[in-house]
Amino acid sequence: MNSIEELVGNRTLRDKITTAEEAALIIEPGMTLGCSGFTPSGYPKAVPTALAKRAESDGPIPVTVWSGASVGPELDGELTRTGCIKRRYPYQTNDDIRREINAGTVQFADIHLSHNAQNIRYGFYGSFHIAIIEALRITNEGDIVLTSAVGNSNVFVESADKVIVEINTAQPEGLDGIHDIYSPENPPHRKPIPITNVQDRIGSPYLHCSPEKIVAIVHSDVKDAQRPLAPVDDVSGRISHNLLDFLSAEVKSGKLPKELLPLQSGVGNIANAVLAGLAEWPSDNLKVYTEVIQDAVFDLLDSGKISFASSAALTPSPDGAAKYYHRLEEFKNRIVLRPQEISNNPEVIRRLGVIAMNTALEVDIYGHVNSTMAGGTRMLNGIGGSGDYARNAYLTIFLCPSTASGGKISKIVPFCSHIDHTEHDVDIIVTEYGAADLRGLSPRERSNEIIEKCSHHDYKELLRDYKKRAEINKGHEPHLLNEAFSWHERLRLLGSMR
Amino acid sequence: MNSIEELVGNRTLRDKITTAEEAALIIEPGMTLGCSGFTPSGYPKAVPTALAKRAESDGPIPVTVWSGASVGPELDGELTRTGCIKRRYPYQTNDDIRREINAGTVQFADIHLSHNAQNIRYGFYGSFHIAIIEALRITNEGDIVLTSAVGNSNVFVESADKVIVEINTAQPEGLDGIHDIYSPENPPHRKPIPITNVQDRIGSPYLHCSPEKIVAIVHSDVKDAQRPLAPVDDVSGRISHNLLDFLSAEVKSGKLPKELLPLQSGVGNIANAVLAGLAEWPSDNLKVYTEVIQDAVFDLLDSGKISFASSAALTPSPDGAAKYYHRLEEFKNRIVLRPQEISNNPEVIRRLGVIAMNTALEVDIYGHVNSTMAGGTRMLNGIGGSGDYARNAYLTIFLCPSTASGGKISKIVPFCSHIDHTEHDVDIIVTEYGAADLRGLSPRERSNEIIEKCSHHDYKELLRDYKKRAEINKGHEPHLLNEAFSWHERLRLLGSMR
């Protein structure tokens, strides 16, 4: 283990080494903080913990917190419980902050992940006072070597007045060199993003930072709050099977090459199960262009099924990290971590022809998708990158089980209680019962396809009934507005949609 | 006036010259036709009219009709009335076909205009049998010189088995050379689209077509079905004024340069009024990157306020055409017409930093936008290109009057009865009362901003009441699902939302 001094290559910066408590004193009420981290990887731990302790004794230090995506409990948990987070962008998965967001006491806006960085540069969200960036080390030139995520770290360092660096010695050294940092110019000077293959490197492995911006360097040795992945259950397995059947048929009909096109998959158990199913795919040389690399991608890189993966973060489970983090040197020439502005960029996603596979919270009979809001009102996590991929993909696939809560909730409803992805952006819906192919179908045809192919038998007749009665009134997309949300009301009042 | 023979430069093609009636006989039931034309300009007239006549005597010839966007009555009107159109993509504005779409007797799917061409190339919509393309002339090499629109003509010619060319001698010769035809490769071979400035030409002025594909060449001399524009009324004028006030403030705060960024504006009276207001803008050298050029853009090109305009079509009113179509030679080095795959391309829109200004049919208190469906069910025109621009713009602005139907309809409602653009895609809403700036606001803050800045006084108290009562239930985006659509139900049952 190197000493912290040795990990600060730039000698003039060594006198910035301090304690997390001292660094936390730099943070003042009303500031906007830009924190590294994406889908709890690579986020700062020591300074947020110290800030929370300071707040415990001195009272809340209210701040606006930006990150790449979700972060760990040291940040969203402790800072929320001590009343420090007043505003939060652009995504979260933490129980404490979620409760406050839904109470309206933390102001939250979930924003397409690819939009964050440019809107910050355009000045739309005001000044950024402090960037807090987790690092492996600082180079001789003063540049930052990031850890398990890139996220929005580049734009935070560019935009913030001051930078606090947390050197985390619990992160694997094998991450050194895995990153590719590239920031586009603002219009009207922006040039094409020169990625034409998943594996293209277009920037620098280090995040450039003017040394005079760095005001504190602290040590931490806390691991990322990796979350365990559930084993693939029967429903997830059947969803994965139906998806692969669909993709096979696309290959057979000549609409996809046998090695497919670059794959994107959301985060979580279903997403991981779907990718795990690719172990059986008949061709090698699959590629991944996505925002998170979970265990399944590591496994498929290891087996050789996937030849290259581009992402904004590594997000293994604790088991996955134990298995692969000491072997990162082996994978480094087959993984690149990019800023989320690039991993999620419409230009690149569309050019590469990504196959987007994301999880839906709720789907309606015309193919609109709710990704975020239970019962239309209660925020779960946020839209994340799903919209970036869904809108720009070669093929846009949404996956979900047909029911939830032991069958009390139908994931397929007459009218989504909240809409994040519209009918215009959804090609395929897959449940454990089948795949509905909506391409080129009118709404009436779509509702037929979705109800017959994807819905659970407990709800199929109810959905058919709604469709039939709605169509009496005519209209391109027939609805009975006075009962469009009656299923959600039934759930709220009676505890079940049945 | 040249004879048709003279307008067919390629001599071997001259024996394909025939009558529209003969050409219409090539069309068989069940075929998919790809027709030139975008927002009724540059669409074929003679062959559709002949096909409708054939159907009148012989009975319907059911076909699927694709175009760029809306077309004229010869196509969507006559072919609908004679029962020939069974499926229609991707946009329309015609009363006859709209009636059939809403009755469910014509299957229609409105698709983001930038997605059409690539999805056709990917094979998602099956085979294209015949392209019917309006032309000014055919070159010596057999390539096609288009007329007042590019739209999807390039992909139709590439994909169709056979091509019918209508040489329209009523179109202005000054269009010759205005087009820039470029088709991207399919993934994984696609390269960056090399546009970095609005005025960049990246393709050919002519649409390449293998001469052996051309099976018929017919003459027509019918003008585009240009629609008159309403004079700027008080409400449109105030919307325009509020928008320009907002843009001025953005320039003052350094978030926009004084010559702005490339402007996009939807089609119609409000869009035209908004652009007309730019005559008062203090800086010259404005640029336009859009899908339709209406009268206001011609006027601003003429006055020198706009230095360059890129579009997929020219769509002047009859007055605008009378004023400018004989002067196209003067404008030709300051206008380029592109395929809609390029005019509406996310990559280019985002790179250039377009300011997107589109009309909303309905907006809800959280900033979701309905662009297409009256009462949630009745299709008006389609989403068109609004989503392409809204999602990818530097700034996304939606415009609408605060009320419609003499005040019986509030354009701002608790919950949009249909959602085409989500809260994630909407920055600014402008009505005649003001501009709501939603950037970075939480849903609770957004509803406050929209209600207080944009709503009509007849509805303001009702909207506040809904918001207040919804917030009792908590939630990130508070709603009362059992009355979310009660305003639409009130309108349906009582004829007014009040």
Considering only CB atoms, which chain A residues are within 8 Å of B122? 255, 394
* Nearest-5° Cα angle at A128, A126 to A130: 165
Q: Is B291 in the active site?
A: yes
Beta bridge partners of B32: B64
Count up the domains in chain A and report the number.
Answer: 2
Whether residue B276 sits in one domain with residue B212: no
CB atoms near residue A123 (< 10 Å): 15
Considering only CB atoms, which chain A residues are within 8 Å of B377? 470, 473-479, 481
- For residues B451 and B453, what is the distance between their CA atoms, to the nearest angstrom? 6
Q: Which domain holds residue A391?
A: 234-496
Q: Give percent of chain B with pLDDT exceeding 90.
A: 96
- Are B475 and A377 a contacting pair at CB < 8 A? yes
Whether residue B366 sits in one domain with residue B275: yes
Considering only CB atoms, which chain A residues are within 8 Å of B32? none
Contact B142, B209 (CB under 8 A): yes
In a domain, A111, yes or no: yes
Q: Does A472 touch chain B (CB under 8 A)?
A: no
Whether residue B240 sits in one domain with residue B188: no
Chain B residue nearest residue A112, CA to CA: B424
Q: Quick one: pLDDT at residue A436? A: 98
Q: Quick one: pLDDT at residue A2? A: 64
Q: Quick one: pLDDT at residue B272? A: 86
Contact A451, A467 (CB under 8 A): yes
Question: At a CB cut-off of 8 Å and minimum separation 6, what does B489 contact?
Answer: A481, A482
Beta bridge partners of A355: A263, A395
- Are A476 and B373 a contacting pair at CB < 8 A? yes
Residue type, A54: R
* DSSP reduced 3-state for A9: coil
- For residues A497 and A142, what is the distance between their CA atoms, to the nearest angstrom? 58
- Are A476 and B108 a contacting pair at CB < 8 A? yes
- Are B421 and A422 a contacting pair at CB < 8 A? yes
Total H helices, total E strands in chain A: 18, 23
Q: Does B376 touch chain A (CB under 8 A)?
A: yes
Whether residue A451 sits in one domain with residue A305: yes
Whether residue A205 sits in one domain with residue A270: no
CB atoms near residue B237 (< 10 Å): 16
Q: Does B62 touch chain A (CB under 8 A)?
A: no
Among B220, B254, B277, the domain boundary falls at: B220
Contact B481, B474 (CB under 8 A): no
In a domain, A229, yes or no: no
Q: Quick one: pLDDT at residue B258? A: 97
- Are A419 and B417 a contacting pair at CB < 8 A? no
In a domain, A225, yes or no: no
Among B163, B197, B220, the domain boundary falls at: B220
Whether residue B335 sits in one domain with residue B191: no
Q: Quick one: pLDDT at residue B230? A: 87
Whether residue B251 sits in one domain with residue B205: no
Q: Does B481 touch chain A (CB under 8 A)?
A: yes
Q: Does A469 touch chain B (CB under 8 A)?
A: no
- Dihedral of alpha carbons B341, B345, B347, B351, sign: positive
In a domain, A1, yes or no: no
Contact A439, B122 (CB under 8 A): no
Q: Does B60 touch chain A (CB under 8 A)?
A: no
For chain A, 498 residues long, give each residue's pLDDT as a single digit of tens.
Answer: 468 999 999 999 999 999 999 999 999 999 999 999 999 999 999 999 999 999 999 999 999 999 999 999 999 999 999 999 999 999 999 999 999 999 999 999 999 999 999 999 999 999 999 999 999 999 999 999 999 999 999 999 999 999 999 999 999 999 999 999 999 999 999 999 999 999 999 999 999 999 999 999 999 999 999 999 888 899 999 999 999 999 999 999 999 999 999 999 988 888 888 999 999 999 999 999 999 999 999 999 999 999 999 999 999 999 999 999 999 999 999 999 999 999 999 999 999 999 999 999 999 999 999 999 999 999 999 999 999 999 999 999 999 999 999 999 999 999 999 999 999 999 999 999 999 999 999 999 999 999 999 999 999 999 999 999 999 988 999 999 999 999 999 999 999 999
Considering only CB atoms, which chain B residues are within 8 Å of A427? 124
Whether residue B249 sits in one domain with residue B189: no
Whether residue A307 sits in one domain with residue A198: no
- Are B489 and A482 a contacting pair at CB < 8 A? yes
Write out the two tokens for A185.
């110019």
Cβ-nearest to B196 among A191, A373, A445: A191
Interface of B with A in 190-219 (CB under 8 A): 190-194, 196-197
- For residues A460 and B274, what is the distance between their CA atoms, to the nearest angstrom? 48
- For residues B79 and B461, what is the distance between their CA atoms, to the nearest angstrom? 48
Nearest residue to B348 via CA among B300, B400, B289: B289
3-state SS track over chain B: CCCHHHHECCHHHHHHECCHHHHHCCCCCCCEEEECCCCCCCCCCHHHHHHHHHHHHHCCCCEEEECCCCCCHHHHHHHHHCCCEEEEECCCCCHHHHHHHHHCCCEECCCCHHHHHHHHHCCCCCCEEEEEEEEEEECCCCCEEECCECECHHHHHHHEEEEEEEEECCCCHHHCCCECECCCCCCCCCCCCCCCCCCCCCCECCECCCHHHEEEEEEECCCCCCCCCCCCCHHHHHHHHHHHHHHHHHHHCCCCCCCCCCEEECCCHHHHHHHHHHHHCCCCCEEEECCCECHHHHHHHHHCCEEEEEECEECCCHHHHHHHHHHHHHHHHHEEECEHHHHCCHHHHHHHCCEEEEECCEEECCCCEECCEECCCEECCCCCCHHHHHHHCCEEEEECCCEEHHHCEECEECCCCCCCECHHHCCEEEECCEEEECCCCCHHHHHHHHHHHHCCHHHHHHHHHHHHHHHHCCCCCCCCCCCCCHHHHHHHHHCCCC
Please tell me the distance in Å from A276's CA to the nearest CA on chain B: 24
Please tell me the distance in Å from B44's CA to the nearest CA on chain A: 23
Q: Quick one: pLDDT at residue A230? A: 87
Please tell me the distance in Å from B102's CA to the nearest CA on chain A: 4
Q: Does B489 touch chain A (CB under 8 A)?
A: yes
Whether residue B264 sits in one domain with residue B361: yes
Among B164, B192, B220, the domain boundary falls at: B220
In a domain, A319, yes or no: yes
Contact B358, B366 (CB under 8 A): no
B100, B158, B291, B449: the active-site residue: B291
- Are A123 and B254 a contacting pair at CB < 8 A? yes
Whether residue B263 sits in one domain with residue B153: no
Q: Does A89 touch chain B (CB under 8 A)?
A: yes
Q: Does B281 touch chain A (CB under 8 A)?
A: no
Beta bridge partners of B286: B306
Contact A214, A18 (CB under 8 A): no
Q: Which of B481, B486, B497 to mutate to test the interface with A (most CBs of A within 10 A)?
A: B481
For chains A and B, count residue pairs whose Cβ atoms are closer than 8 Å.
240
Question: A425 to each of A82, A113, A497, B388, B396, how far by Cα in Å?
Answer: 40, 17, 27, 11, 18
- Dihedral of alpha carbons A211, A216, A219, A224, sign: negative
**Residue B466, domain CATH:** 3.40.1080.10
- Are A194 and B192 a contacting pair at CB < 8 A? yes
Nearest residue to B368 via CA among B424, B440, B436, B445: B424
Interface of A with B in 333-372 (CB under 8 A): 346-347, 350-353, 368
Q: Quick one: pLDDT at residue A268? A: 82
In a domain, A2, yes or no: no
Q: Does A12 touch chain B (CB under 8 A)?
A: no
A74, A291, A362, A432: the active-site residue: A291
Interface of A with B in 436-455 (CB under 8 A): 439-445
Whether residue A330 sits in one domain with residue A376: yes
In a domain, B227, yes or no: no
Chain B residue nearest residue A104, CA to CA: B476
The backbone torsions φ and ψ at residue B67, rounded to the nearest 5 degrees and listed phi first, read -145, -170
pLDDT, tens only, B37-89: 999 999 999 999 999 999 999 999 999 999 999 999 999 999 999 999 999 99
Cβ-nearest to B475 among A89, A378, A422: A378
Please tell me the distance in Å from B453's CA to the nearest CA on chain A: 19
Q: Does A127 touch chain B (CB under 8 A)?
A: no
Question: At a CB cut-off of 8 Å and minimum separation 6, what does B15 contact?
Answer: none
Chain A residue nearest residue B478, CA to CA: A377
Helix axes B234-252, B269-276, angle to 10 degrees: 50
Which residue ranges of chain B lie beneath pLDDT 50? 1
Task: For B196-285, list the strands marked E by DSSP.
Answer: 214-220, 263-265
Cβ-nearest to A123 among B89, B123, B255: B255
- For residues B390 and B387, what is the distance between their CA atoms, to the nearest angstrom? 5
Considering only CB atoms, which chain B residues are within 8 Å of A124? 255, 427, 439-440
* DSSP reduced 3-state for B432: coil
Nearest residue to A35 via CA among A2, A3, A5, A79: A79
Contact B94, B117 (CB under 8 A): no
Which DSSP string do the residues of B379-420 spell out, in sequence order?
E-S--TTHHHHHHH-SEEEEE--SEEGGGTEESEESS-SS-S
Instruction: Please report where in the chains the tokens 């939302």 appear, as a residue.
Output: B497
In a domain, A6, yes or no: no
Chain B residue nearest residue A348, CA to CA: B347
